[in-house]
């Protein structure tokens, strides 16, 4: 490997690491926001998606003139973008925030990582093939991990709330849907304009449905700071950095480095917000995160 290629790998790794950490920080800031203020997840989802979409499309328009117009005129792309926005990004963003509100950022982020298992199952079903050994082991590890997180090792009671578990699975389904629905348009147009349109469409739809132009009462400077971190650090910055990193180190390495997101969220949630994780939960986290290592080369 040449020195230039080594430098490229180092920069790409750094981008993935910083991007994943930014996502983890954003998740904990969301948890702090929901703990301190009476704010609906719908409003936060609409704001973060709309602002991010506008900024990404503005950046694309400045760098690649004509791309956005061409995407809108392409009917097939328009349909793909609509599905990606509503069944992918919007579902992913809303369920993730709802999972944080119902549990904590560490648990929500780990449960979201079940998406890689759902994608593996989806591929097996659509290709009509039986799961490989790694896939079978990963599914079993995921089930064990979810059971440990939900029950904390108890055989008689559910420790994680029903809504927390429901939205956690929803976050995993949303992340899987987002990944699968993005493949075709991203391969044709690139990730930034596709994500920009997806964010803007999903954000505006939710903005109108939830009438998010009304500001929640009681917001102060601290709330504004948390929102700014969620939007600019955890959505715009994290995505831009991580996508750049993927292009430089490849999807396999990027998927492994993305494990820093739940680890960051869990650590910050414990240190900053006082969340307590039992030994059973930590083992459950490890079981779910291990599926990323097993499946990263299978998908």
Q: Where are the domains of the chain?
A: 22-295
Q: How far is CA 94 from CA 5, 97, 99, 192, 225, in A?
A: 39, 5, 9, 20, 20
Cα–Cα distance for residue pair 103/187, rounded to 1 Å: 35
Cα–Cα distance for residue pair 162/165, rounded to 1 Å: 5
Q: Is 38 helix (H, G, I), strand (E, B) or coil?
A: coil
Residue with tokens 């097993």: 294
Angle of helix 133-151 versus helix 279-295 axis, rounded to 10:
160
Which string of b and e fits 196-216 if b means at least 16 CB within 10 Å?
bbbbbbbbbbbbeeeebeeee
**pLDDT tens, the chain, 299 aa long:** 566 778 888 898 899 899 999 999 999 999 999 999 989 899 999 999 999 999 999 999 998 888 999 999 999 999 999 999 999 999 999 999 999 999 999 999 999 989 888 988 888 898 888 888 888 998 899 999 999 998 888 877 777 888 999 999 999 999 889 888 988 888 899 888 998 999 999 999 988 888 877 888 888 999 999 999 999 999 888 888 887 887 788 777 777 888 888 999 999 999 999 998 999 999 999 999 998 888 876 65
Half-sphere exposure of 165 (CA within 13 A, CB side): 14
């Amino acid at each position: 490997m040449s020195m230039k290629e080594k430098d490229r790998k180092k920069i790409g790794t750094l981008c993935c690491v910083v991007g994943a950490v930014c996502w983890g920080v954003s998740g904990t800031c969301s948890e702090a926001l929901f703990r301190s203020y009476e704010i609906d997840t719908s409003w936060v989802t609409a704001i973060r998606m709309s602002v991010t979409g506008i900024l990404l499309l503005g950046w694309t328009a400045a760098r690649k003139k004509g791309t956005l117009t061409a995407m809108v005129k392409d009917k097939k792309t328009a349909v793909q973008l609509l599905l990606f926005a509503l069944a992918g990004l919007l579902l992913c963003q809303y369920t993730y925030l709802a999972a944080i509100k119902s549990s904590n950022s560490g648990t929500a982020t780990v449960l979201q990582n079940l998406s890689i298992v759902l994608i593996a199952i989806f591929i097996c079903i659509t290709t009509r093939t039986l799961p490989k050994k790694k896939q079978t082991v990963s599914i079993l590890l995921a089930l064990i991990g979810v059971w440990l997180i939900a029950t904390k090792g108890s055989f008689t009671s559910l420790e994680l709330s029903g809504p927390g578990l429901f939205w956690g699975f929803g976050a995993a389904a949303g992340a899987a849907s987002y990944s699968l629905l993005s493949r075709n348009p991203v391969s044709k147009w690139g990730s930034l304009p596709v994500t920009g349109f997806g964010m803007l469409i999903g954000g505006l739809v939710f903005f109108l449905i939830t009438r998010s132009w009304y500001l929640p009462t009681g917001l102060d400077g601290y709330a504004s700071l948390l929102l700014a971190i969620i939007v600019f650090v955890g959505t715009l910055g994290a995505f831009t950095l991580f996508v750049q990193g993927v292009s430089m180190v490849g999807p396999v390495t990027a998927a492994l480095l993305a494990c820093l997101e739940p680890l960051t969220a869990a650590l910050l949630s414990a240190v900053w917000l006082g969340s307590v994780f039992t030994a059973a939960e930590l083992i459950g986290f490890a079981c779910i995160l291990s599926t990323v290592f097993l499946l990263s080369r299978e998908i």
